[in-house]
């Protein structure tokens, strides 16, 4: 009885809100093979404990709950991204990928967090399970540093992986020089994570456009709610940023819901609203097909 009390006391209560229930889209269906390129899984803490050095404690977010969201919205592919609260312990994501049914009607990939101590054998195991990149988090505590990933870059290149950055491009010094020097493709989260209040002429955002033009940098058209000055959709102040990125290199843009929306600066968004925002901004069905289906297939090897 005593040990049970101790174990229960070690379970931390969530410090952030949980996601809202999702409803079907009301504007248009997604193209066949559409991919949600950015989502996280969490818990249960008893099996997958969080690291002590973290900036939030999330609600549980299970594969079953996420799969239900994908079905409701019409996605057929998904990319699980290692969140900062787990550090380099990728167990939950890897266990999830390993446990998927062989006849699954959905296709899955992963983006891990590793450090320089990871073995080639472990990287190869991850690759076999569907991992196609490494994430570096320069916004929230718990991730690894730019120097860590730079030391791994040649090994990742051999696997055909990319390096994904959660970074505010307006605060990342020497963005173009540092990312251009990496031998792997780079993927930038949340449209560069720069506040819309700074405008599209902000130097870091212009640097991001320069990197996209060169062709080795991809951008996730995710998290408009994270960079907007508005509290709810439609996030119209994000439109110029979204449009600038798509106009620069539509073939280097992908989309993700960012479910279950952790560590937000404002209200919890509705996932159907976020998808409908993309459909609003991509009225051309050919462009929708490219960004929602064809580009993810290239980037993640579906």
d(CA 57, CA 45): 10
The question of whether 258 is a catalytic residue gets the answer yes
Regarding beta strands 131-137 and 107-112, do their DSSP bridges make them parallel or antiparallel, or are they unpaired?
Answer: parallel
Report cis status (omega within 30 of 0) of the bond before 44. yes
Question: How wide is the angle at C-alpha 135 spanned by C-alphas 216 and 265, nearest 5°?
Answer: 105
Q: Within a 10 A sphere around the Cβ of 284, how many other Cβ atoms? A: 9
Backbone angles phi, psi at 135, to 5 degrees: -105, 140
User: By three-state DSSP, how is residue 42 classified?
Assistant: strand
Question: How wide is the angle at C-alpha 198 spanned by C-alphas 265 and 196, nearest 5°?
Answer: 50
Q: Which of 258, 271, 273, 294 is catalytic?
A: 258
d(CA 190, CA 113): 18
C-alpha of 5 from chain center: 36
Residues carrying an active site annotation: 258
């Amino acid at each position: 009885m005593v040990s049970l009390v101790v174990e229960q006391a070690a379970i931390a209560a969530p410090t952030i809100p949980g996601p809202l229930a999702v409803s079907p889209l009301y504007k248009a269906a997604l193209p066949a093979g559409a991919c949600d390129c950015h989502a996280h899984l969490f818990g249960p803490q008893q099996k997958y404990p969080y690291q002590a050095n973290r900036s939030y404690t999330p609600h549980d977010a299970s594969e079953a709950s996420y799969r239900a969201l994908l079905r409701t919205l019409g996605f057929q592919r998904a990319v699980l991204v290692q969140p900062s609260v787990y550090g380099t312990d990728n167990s939950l994501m890897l266990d999830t990928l390993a446990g998927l049914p062989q006849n699954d009607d959905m296709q899955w990939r992963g983006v891990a967090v590793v450090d320089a101590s990871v073995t080639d054998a472990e990287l190869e195991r991850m690759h076999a399970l569907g991992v196609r990149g490494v994430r570096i988090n320069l916004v929230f505590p718990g991730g690894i540093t730019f120097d860590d990933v730079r030391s791994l870059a040649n090994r990742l290149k051999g696997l055909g992986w990319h390096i994904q950055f959660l970074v505010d491009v307006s605060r990342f010094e020497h963005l173009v020089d540092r990312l251009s020097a990496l031998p792997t493709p780079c993927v930038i989260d949340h449209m560069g994570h720069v506040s819309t209040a700074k405008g599209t002429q902000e130097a870091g955002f212009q640097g991001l456009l320069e990197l996209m033009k060169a062709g080795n940098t991809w951008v996730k058209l995710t998290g408009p709610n994270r960079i907007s000055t508005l509290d709810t959709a439609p996030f119209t102040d994000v439109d110029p940023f979204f449009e600038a990125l798509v106009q620069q290199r539509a073939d280097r843009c992908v989309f993700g819901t960012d479910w279950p929306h952790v560590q937000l600066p404002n209200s919890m968004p509705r996932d159907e609203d976020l998808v409908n925002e993309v459909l609003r901004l991509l009225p051309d069905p050919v462009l929708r097909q490219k960004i929602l289906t064809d580009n993810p297939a290239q980037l993640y090897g579906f």
